[in-house]
Homo-oligomer: A and B are copies of this chain.
């Protein structure tokens, strides 16, 4: 009887149950702490902490975790001629050949971690939850602010990450030389490319933790946009950079500089970026046209599901093509919020937002608890004290080399300067997280890569627990206003639109957006037949909305921002309002600029 019961015990169910239980404990305890005004601890930190605890329990408790530990009497086979440990083993068991996949090393003293790891399979987590988190961030982004600060965000994300990568690489390389001097490592253990690789992996700030921090503190919108935009875009940069460096180090001969390989890497970098952007936009076009030309909006459930699946597909297809899924889903989210949202029914709009919100929340918790779990159960940690010290030192140095000089340069061109307090906080808020971890965990075959994984996990833990917790006091200390109501100035949003003279900004992008994309993808904007040359008349009539009304224009322009604000508003209601006094001295920071200030300056003159 017991045997049957035992047999019925579903191991998968048990492991899923454990993660669900972990998530529940995290949610409830963090929520409880927040109620008691301990607002410093965020869900991500809590989740990672509990994951760590569970991992320690799995590792050290004397319990058979359903694992096959070699029992006395269990047959151990020896395969002729097998010296290495291949990932896939092809065995000739007459009359067939069979495939066997490597599970793990047998170790009687320490419970093997592979089976629970399979449940916390990072691939599943990343394919399922990472896109929804990024999408939610992009979908609820204040678009006007983002476009205003686009030039600065781009500078921080691209130049900043490259500076950061190089600085970290150089700094850590110095420490590895010290290790060689002190006899802690051999001369050929760490190459410069390895250190640069570590730099690429660790230099990107993490959107998940930064979004968590930002939604918690509701700080100034410009600062919010800068931090969020940087964190999202620099992930993409880091991913592409990592692969470019890997490509380069695979191609170069004898670890000396190789010019063709370098340019090939740069070309790869640009190609991946452009491809991902395009792919994300293609999925938006599909969704927008589908919702515009069919009566899908009559069925909010179908609409929501189709919207969700298509947005998710942008990530998946980018990953499947070898592009950057994060960039694709980011751009997809932003363009969905700009175009497709207008075609959805009002119930569909609420539903999509709430669905992504729930996924986002669950995803953060699952991803971070899995990180904590892996930190404590990964069996091949390689702790190198000097490497770790070098890494910790370098992340501060590199962040300083990134933020202060770039802010100085940007302030030369910006109409609204980035104040010093913002710079200090940006320097401080360099939280690392899921993406760095996923990049580090992708390959742990060599000692160097294992050292990188261990160090990455420690850096992630440190930034989330220490920096994340200290962010709130830091903001007070820097006297940056928090508890900002995102809908403070809804008028100036609609005002700009109501004047109906977007052409004065002169931007090519705005022209394309307003004259072609809006009328093509939504029911708003000027009729396509006006924008397109006469020869495209048939095309315009076919794709243009039959019921375009100029009156709709204002409505359409303001709605996406409303939807973005709504979600912030919801959060506002939930949190105790802290630091509202700060909003009294409203800084004059409500106008940024696109690129280097020309656009906003022109708009102002007009």
Contact of A99 among B92, B104, B357 (CB under 8 A): B104
Contact of A301 among B94, B97, B358 (CB under 8 A): B358
- Tell me if B88 and A99 are in contact (CB < 8 A): no
Residues of A117-148 whose CB lies within 8 A of B: 123-124, 127
Q: In the complex, what residue of chain B is closest to A354 when comparing beta carbons? A: B351
Residues on B with beta carbons closer than 8 Å to the beta carbon of A1 = 247, 264, 268
Q: In the complex, what residue of chain B is closest to A325 when comparing beta carbons? A: B13
Residues on B with beta carbons closer than 8 Å to the beta carbon of A14 = 316, 319-320
Task: State the CA gap A290–B32 with chains docked (Å).
Answer: 12
Q: In the complex, what residue of chain B is closest to A323 when comparing beta carbons? A: B8
CB distance from A239 to the nearest CB of B (A): 10
- Tell me if A92 and B78 are in contact (CB < 8 A): yes
Residue A490 is within 8 A (CB to CB) of chain B in the complex: no
- Tell me if A106 and B90 are in contact (CB < 8 A): yes
Q: How large is the interface on A (under 10, 10 to 19, 20 to 34, 35 or more residues)?
A: 35 or more
Other 19 A-B pairs with CB < 8 A, given A10-B319, A96-B107: A1-B264, A4-B250, A10-B127, A13-B315, A13-B319, A21-B313, A27-B302, A70-B97, A77-B79, A77-B91, A77-B92, A78-B80, A78-B92, A84-B93, A85-B98, A99-B105, A299-B574, A301-B361, A302-B574
- Tell me if A75 and B68 are in contact (CB < 8 A): no
User: What are the 6 tightest A-B residue pairs by CB atom distance, in nearest-first order?
Assistant: A100-B100, A13-B319, A97-B106, A99-B103, A17-B316, A8-B322
Task: State the CA gap A502–B21 with chains docked (Å).
Answer: 38
Task: State the CA gap A137–B167 with chains docked (Å).
Answer: 57
Contact of A92 among B20, B76, B94 (CB under 8 A): B76
Binding site for B on A (CB under 8 A): 1, 4-6, 8-10, 12-14, 16-17, 20-21, 23-24, 27-28, 31, 35, 68, 70, 74-85, 88-94, 96-107, 112, 114, 123-124, 127, 243, 246-247, 250, 264, 268, 290, 295-296, 298-302, 304-306, 308-310, 312-313, 315-317, 319-322, 325, 351, 354-355, 357-358, 361-362, 570, 573-574
Task: State the CA gap A106–B95 with chains docked (Å).
Answer: 11
- Tell me if A316 and B99 are in contact (CB < 8 A): no
Residues on B with beta carbons closer than 8 Å to the beta carbon of A362 = 305
Residues on B with beta carbons closer than 8 Å to the beta carbon of A83 = 93-94
Q: In the complex, what residue of chain B is closest to A318 when comparing beta carbons? A: B13
- Tell me if B68 and A89 are in contact (CB < 8 A): no
Task: State the CA gap A104–B17 with chains docked (Å).
Answer: 29
- Tell me if B68 and A16 are in contact (CB < 8 A): no
CB distance from A297 to the nearest CB of B (A): 11
CB distance from A172 to the nearest CB of B (A): 24
- Tell me if A100 and B102 are in contact (CB < 8 A): yes
Task: State the CA gap A243–B112 with chains docked (Å).
Answer: 31
Task: State the CA gap A100–B70 with chains docked (Å).
Answer: 13
Task: State the CA gap A317–B325 with chains docked (Å).
Answer: 35
Residues on B with beta carbons closer than 8 Å to the beta carbon of A325 = 13
- Tell me if A302 and B31 are in contact (CB < 8 A): yes
Count this chain's copies in the assembly. Answer: 2
Task: State the CA gap A319–B18 with chains docked (Å).
Answer: 13
Residues on B with beta carbons closer than 8 Å to the beta carbon of A305 = 27, 358, 361-362
Task: State the CA gap A97–B78 with chains docked (Å).
Answer: 9
Contact of A77 among B82, B312, B315 (CB under 8 A): B82
- Could you write out 28 A-B pairs with CB less than 8 Å apart? A1-B247, A4-B243, A6-B322, A10-B319, A13-B316, A14-B320, A17-B313, A17-B316, A24-B309, A27-B305, A28-B306, A31-B299, A68-B88, A70-B90, A76-B90, A78-B80, A79-B91, A85-B98, A89-B89, A90-B106, A97-B105, A98-B106, A298-B574, A299-B574, A301-B357, A301-B570, A305-B358, A351-B358
Residues on B with beta carbons closer than 8 Å to the beta carbon of A93 = 79, 82-85
- Tell me if A23 and B309 are in contact (CB < 8 A): yes
Task: State the CA gap A100–B317 with chains docked (Å).
Answer: 31
CB distance from A5 to the nearest CB of B (A): 5
Q: In the complex, what residue of chain B is closest to A571 when comparing beta carbons? A: B301
- Tell me if B101 and A103 are in contact (CB < 8 A): yes
Task: State the CA gap A416–B106 with chains docked (Å).
Answer: 65
Among A246, A308, A313, A362, find the residue whose CB has the most chain B CB atoms closer than 10 A. Answer: A313
- Tell me if A17 and B317 are in contact (CB < 8 A): yes
Task: State the CA gap A574–B298 with chains docked (Å).
Answer: 6
Residues on B with beta carbons closer than 8 Å to the beta carbon of A92 = 76-78
Among A10, A76, A268, find the residue whose CB has the most chain B CB atoms closer than 10 A. Answer: A10
Task: State the CA gap A105–B90 with chains docked (Å).
Answer: 9
Residues on B with beta carbons closer than 8 Å to the beta carbon of A70 = 90, 97
- Tell me if A320 and B106 are in contact (CB < 8 A): no
